[in-house]
């Protein structure tokens, strides 16, 4: 006879996000290796003397004890395992961390196994916190989680005829997630030429181990073009705007100067990059 499920369970998790619940509580979204994404209730964490609050910040890896609740489990204990504190010292690293967390949130469903994705997210946070190039970390993470969730993009073979595509003559469809040769590109909607260097780097990132991929030198311009291609692809996959991708663009504008931000706001009162 099967026993009753335990009233309190323990699991490792990474905090993805939270939202307010009432005056002092939060609903916290956790990514766990075995239970996938779960929403749990953290009581009293908005109070200044809460013992849980500091351990339940987005991007923290922790061990958490959960008591079974009626609709959601309730956090009874939380012990931080790694807070990746260095992320909070640099805006580029912090915005990249927000982006990788948001992608993990968007690409998972509740209570589905997420072992592979959990490992990729953990690795990305470690690499960002230790100061690896954030473009390298984020691009390799995007490709890894697309692979893990069944959305692996096709960079080498034409989606139309199945023949290998020469990088310098390739066409790209973000919606279909792959390349076309010039013969098959025809008048397909949503298709455009892709920069040959961008495609070569993406092929290398997809096929080589992380350490090998890190040897590729990226100019600022090439990094920006890679980012634009991958942001468009991720947008097509999650089928909605990725807020932290927009924030990354805003941090770039802020780097230029405040006057430029004001001029942009005056020229485009609606704001945004879309």
Partner 1 sequence: MDAFHRLPGIGPKSAQRLAYHILRAPEEEARELAAALIEVKESIVLCEFCQNLTDTSPCRICADTGRDRTVICVVEEPLDIVAIDRTGGFNGLFHVLHGVISPSDGIGPEDLKVEELLRRLRDRDTDVDEIIVATNPNLEGEATSMYLARLLRPLGLRVTRLARGLPAGADLEYADDVTLGRAMEFRQEV
- Where does this chain bind partner 1 (CB under 8 A)? 17, 19, 22-23, 48-49, 51, 53-55, 57-60, 80, 82-83, 85, 88, 90-91, 94-95, 98-99, 101-102, 105, 241-244, 246-247, 250-251, 254-255, 257-258, 261-262, 265, 271-272
Between 60 and 140, CB nearer to partner 1: 60
User: Nearest CA to 46 among 80, 21, 13, 17?
Assistant: 21
Residues 157, 170: Cα–Cα separation, whole Å: 10
Is the separation of the CB atoms in 141 and 100 below 8 Å? Answer: yes
In angstroms, what is the minimal distance from the CB of 125 to partner 1? 12
Between 6 and 85, CB nearer to partner 1: 85
Residues 90, 102: Cα–Cα separation, whole Å: 18
User: Nearest CA to 273 among 221, 227, 238, 237?
Assistant: 227
Between 203 and 252, CB nearer to partner 1: 252
Neighbours of 48 (CB within 10 A): 5
In angstroms, what is the minimal distance from the CB of 42 to partner 1? 13
- The tokens 């001029």 sit on which residue? 263
Between 54 and 196, CB nearer to partner 1: 54
In angstroms, what is the minimal distance from the CB of 12 to partner 1? 16
User: Nearest CA to 246 among 137, 123, 85, 102?
Assistant: 102
In whole angstroms, what separates CA 78 from the centre of its chain? 24
Between 83 and 123, CB nearer to partner 1: 83
Find all residues with CB under 8 Å of 144, minimum gap 6, and list them: 120
In angstroms, what is the minimal distance from the CB of 210 to partner 1? 25
In angstroms, what is the minimal distance from the CB of 261 to partner 1? 6
């Amino acid at each position: 006879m099967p026993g009753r499920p335990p009233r309190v369970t323990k699991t490792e998790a990474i905090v993805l996000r939270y939202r307010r619940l009432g005056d002092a509580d939060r609903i916290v979204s956790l990514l766990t290796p075995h239970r996938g994404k779960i929403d749990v209730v953290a009581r009293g964490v908005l109070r200044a003397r809460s013992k849980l609050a500091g351990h339940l910040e987005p991007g923290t890896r922790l061990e958490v004890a959960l008591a079974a609740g009626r609709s959601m489990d309730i956090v009874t204990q939380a012990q931080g395992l790694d807070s990746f504190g260095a992320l909070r010292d640099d805006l580029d690293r912090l915005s990249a961390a927000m982006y990788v967390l948001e992608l993990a949130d968007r690409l998972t469903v509740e209570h589905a196994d997420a072992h592979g994705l959990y490992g990729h997210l953990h690795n990305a946070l470690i690499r960002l916190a230790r100061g690896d190039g954030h473009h390298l970390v984020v691009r390799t993470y995007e490709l890894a989680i697309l692979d893990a969730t069944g959305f692996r993009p096709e960079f080498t073979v034409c989606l139309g005829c199945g023949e290998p595509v020469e990088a310098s003559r390739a066409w790209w469809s973000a919606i279909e997630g792959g390349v076309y040769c010039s013969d098959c590109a025809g008048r397909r909607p949503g298709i455009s030429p892709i920069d040959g260097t961008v495609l070569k780097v993406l092929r290398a990132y997809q096929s080589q181990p992380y350490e090998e991929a890190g040897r590729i030198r990226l100019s600022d311009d090439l990094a920006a073009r890679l980012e634009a291609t991958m942001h468009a692809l991720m947008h097509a996959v999650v089928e909605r705007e990725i807020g932290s991708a927009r924030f990354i663009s805003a941090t770039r504008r802020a780097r230029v100067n405040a006057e430029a931000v004001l001029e942009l706001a005056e020229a485009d009162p609606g704001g945004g990059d879309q």
